[in-house]
């Protein structure tokens, strides 16, 4: 009997078999031995702000962010050596140009020195946002920028330029229906209303794919298409915040009718066919530790509406980052990105990646931990209010901050509050907190870094913490309550 026939019979049960990772460890880093008492003392020293906690003291999983913390592949490490640090027109720049064209579309990267400058490299995502909104803000008009959910730095950059950010989260996000997919969509009904009343105030509409602030949930092709048609009808450009574009494409392939036979590449091309421009932090789906970019479509609405913008951004880039052919990136970073953008499009990589995050979240869910479902692309979001159900925790006790502090001190895992403290505001006149709609602790999973065993340990720690949640006291803010971007800077202590 032929072996190919034998395996056909055997492989019937393939789905029941655990999937191995599509990669193996190339190099590893040992952690330090640190006791929970040492971590607790350190956390008190840094005012319970996990951002200031030394990563060298983390003995569990560092899930503070999925940004810039990817373990790079052997190919990327090798490519670093090919980095060309020429001041003008380094070798990697041309390779990256071809890669960007191949993935996002020809029109997003003109040849350097020829045609309109439309591809701008920055050191990270927020630097692109800063450039874009600085120049949009200079138009002097009362502007507003709607989105399916602005990321915190995006929102802050918009506001810093006296533009009003508007978050039109999908009603599905808070519907409580666990199986409803594409909770990252923009609320089309609300967008239509806003366009009807205020379209002349919108320089662009922004879609964040996937929707980080909205639970890391994906955005459907249907929504992208509808938004593009709507805003283009009003002559408004569509922009993407495209940090997690490949993960978003995977969700479309596997969960949106009509896309299961399409390749990730074909889906990405279609997504970007609707965009007039995009900003991107390459620290996510670029699979690199540093880098960002802003791209305008050659004949898109954005450059038609703002013909001076390419020159303005070019000048901004030269003033603040570097020559346009490297921008804010070193030649070696560009080479790592050139490889990273190729790897991120691998279906085996993406399937493993999304499954890892999903299994992590499902394991929490199965243990009765209140997580946002379905699980998003890069992180698991724990509902703080539900976590503290049945305890005396009040909204201004900032349970999410306390939870993160105890989790880190006791078990060595670092997560981050994205909820009442991070997105809330202190009204100095009324002397009270204004709470946002969502109150999460986010467990962001770095790419290619942790194994199942590591994430299982986080679940086990949380289960144990959930059982003793009544013992986590509220915190009080000792510094920074009234500051903008306060979560990065504030300090706290547990109330007696
Ligand atoms: N847009 C989104 C959707 C993001 O998630 C981030 C960063 C940025 C823009 C800014 O990019 O960090 O390169 O300046 N998100 C990280 C996070 C920090 O942890 O979610 P950046």
Ligand 1 centroid, distance to 68 Cα (angstroms): 9
Last residue of a domain, one of 308, 343, 378: 343
| Residue 69: inside a domain | no
Same domain, 307 and 439: no
The predicted pLDDT at position 179 comes to 81
| Residue 312: inside a domain | yes
Residue 291 alpha carbon, nearest atom of ligand 1 = 13
Residue 121: Cβ within 10 Å count:
28
Same domain, 34 and 143: no
How many residues make up the chain in this entry? 496
331-363: per-residue pLDDT in tens?
999 999 999 999 999 999 999 999 999 999 999
Helix (H) or strand (E) holding 146: strand 144-147
pLDDT band at 205 (very low <50, low <70, confident <90, very high): very high
The predicted pLDDT at position 456 comes to 98
The predicted pLDDT at position 438 comes to 84
305-330: per-residue pLDDT in tens?
999 999 999 999 999 999 999 999 99
Same domain, 291 and 222: yes
**What's the domain range around 372?**
25-59+347-494
Same domain, 32 and 161: no
Same domain, 54 and 158: no
Residue 444 alpha carbon, nearest atom of ligand 1 = 19
How far from the centroid of its chain's Cα atoms is residue 403's Cα? 22
| Residue 4: inside a domain | no
| Residue 338: inside a domain | yes
| Residue 65: inside a domain | no
Residue of 262, 184, 192, 271 lying closest to 224 (CA atoms): 271
Same domain, 291 and 144: yes
Residue of 351, 182, 178, 343 lying closest to 250 (CA atoms): 351
Does 113 score more than 90 pLDDT? no
Same domain, 266 and 304: yes
Residue 127 alpha carbon, nearest atom of ligand 1 = 14
Residue 116's φ and ψ, nearest 5 degrees, are -70, 135
117 with 110: CB under 8 angstroms? yes
pLDDT band at 14 (very low <50, low <70, confident <90, very high): low
Structural domain count, the chain: 2
The predicted pLDDT at position 214 comes to 87
Ligand 1 centroid, distance to 379 Cα (angstroms): 13
| Residue 67: inside a domain | no
Q: Does residue 292's CB lie within 6 angstroms of at least one atom of ligand 1?
A: yes
Query: CA-CA distance, 272 to 10, in Å (whole number)?
Result: 41
320 with 262: CB under 8 angstroms? no
Last residue of a domain, one of 324, 343, 362: 343
Q: Tell me the average pLDDT across 157-175.
A: 92
Same domain, 163 and 30: no
CATH of the domain at 256: 3.40.640.10
309 with 296: CB under 8 angstroms? yes
Q: Assign residue 370 a region: left if phi > 0, alpha if psi is -120 to 50, beta otherwise?
A: beta
Same domain, 99 and 216: yes
Same domain, 262 and 297: yes
| Residue 100: inside a domain | yes
Same domain, 411 and 488: yes
Does 471 score more than 80 pLDDT? yes
Does 11 score more than 90 pLDDT? no
Last residue of a domain, one of 343, 362, 384: 343
Q: Does residue 488's CB lie within 6 angstroms of at least one atom of ligand 1?
A: no
CATH of the domain at 43: 3.90.1150.10
The predicted pLDDT at position 13 comes to 66
| Residue 484: inside a domain | yes
pTM: 0.95
* CB neighbour class for 115 (10 Å; exposed up to 12, middle 13-18, buried from 19): exposed
Same domain, 372 and 336: no
Q: Does residue 208's CB lie within 6 angstroms of at least one atom of ligand 1?
A: yes
364-421: per-residue pLDDT in tens?
999 999 999 999 999 999 999 999 999 999 999 999 999 999 999 999 999 999 999 9
């Amino acid at each position: 009997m032929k072996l190919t026939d034998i395996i056909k019979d055997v492989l019937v049960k393939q789905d029941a078999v655990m999937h191995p990772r599509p990669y193996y460890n190339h190099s590893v880093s040992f952690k330090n031995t640190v006791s929970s008492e040492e971590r607790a003392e350190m956390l008190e020293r840094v005012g319970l702000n996990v951002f200031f906690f030394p990563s060298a003291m983390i003995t569990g999983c560092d899930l503070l962010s999925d940004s810039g913390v990817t373990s790079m592949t052997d190919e990327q490490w090798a490519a670093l050596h090919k980095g060309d640090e020429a001041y003008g027109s380094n070798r990697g720049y041309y390779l990256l140009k071809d890669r960007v064209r191949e993935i996002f579309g020809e029109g997003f990267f003109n040849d350097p020195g020829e045609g309109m400058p439309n591809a701008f490299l920055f050191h990270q995502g927020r630097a692109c946002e800063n450039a874009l909104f600085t120049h949009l803000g200079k138009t002097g008009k009362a502007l507003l920028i709607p989105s399916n959910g602005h990321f915190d730095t995006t929102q802050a950059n918009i506001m810093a330029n006296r533009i009003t950010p508007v978050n039109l989260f999908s009603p599905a996000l808070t519907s409580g229906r666990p199986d409803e997919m594409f909770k990252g969509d923009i609320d089309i009904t609300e967008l239509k209303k806003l366009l009807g009343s205020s379209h002349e105030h919108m320089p662009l509409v922004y879609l964040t794919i996937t929707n980080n602030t909205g639970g890391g949930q994906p955005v459907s092709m249907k929504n992208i298409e509808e938004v593009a048609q709507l805003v283009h009808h009003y002559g408004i450009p569509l922009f993407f915040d495209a940090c997690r574009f490949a993960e978003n494409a995977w969700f479309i392939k596997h969960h949106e009718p009509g896309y299961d036979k399409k390749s990730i590449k074909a889906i990405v091309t279609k997504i970007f066919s609707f965009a007039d421009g995009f900003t991107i932090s390459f620290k996510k789906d670029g699979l690199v530790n540093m880098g960002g970019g802003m791209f305008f479509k050659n004949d898109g609405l954005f450059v038609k509406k703002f013909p001076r913008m390419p020159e303005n951004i070019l000048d901004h880039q030269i003033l603040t980052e570097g020559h346009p052919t490297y921008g804010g990136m070193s030649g070696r970073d560009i080479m790592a990105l050139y490889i990273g953008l190729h790897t991120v499009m691998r279906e085996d990589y993406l399937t493993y990646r999304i499954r890892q995050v999903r299994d992590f979240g499902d394991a929490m869910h199965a243990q009765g931990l209140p997580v946002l479902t379905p699980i998003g692309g890069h992180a698991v979001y724990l509902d703080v209010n539900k976590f503290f159900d049945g305890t005396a925790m009040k909204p201004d006790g900032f349970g999410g901050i306390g939870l993160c502090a105890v989790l880190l001190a006791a078990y060595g895992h670092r997560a981050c509050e994205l909820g009442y403290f991070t997105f809330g505001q202190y009204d100095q006149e009324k002397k009270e907190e204004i709470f946002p709609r969502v109150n999460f602790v986010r467990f962001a999973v770095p790419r290619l870094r942790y194994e199942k065993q590591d994430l299982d340990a986080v679940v086990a720690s949380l289960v144990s913490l959930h059982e003793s949640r009544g013992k986590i006291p509220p915190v009080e803010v000792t510094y920074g309550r009234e500051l903008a971007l306060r979560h990065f800077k504030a300090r706290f202590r547990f109330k007696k």
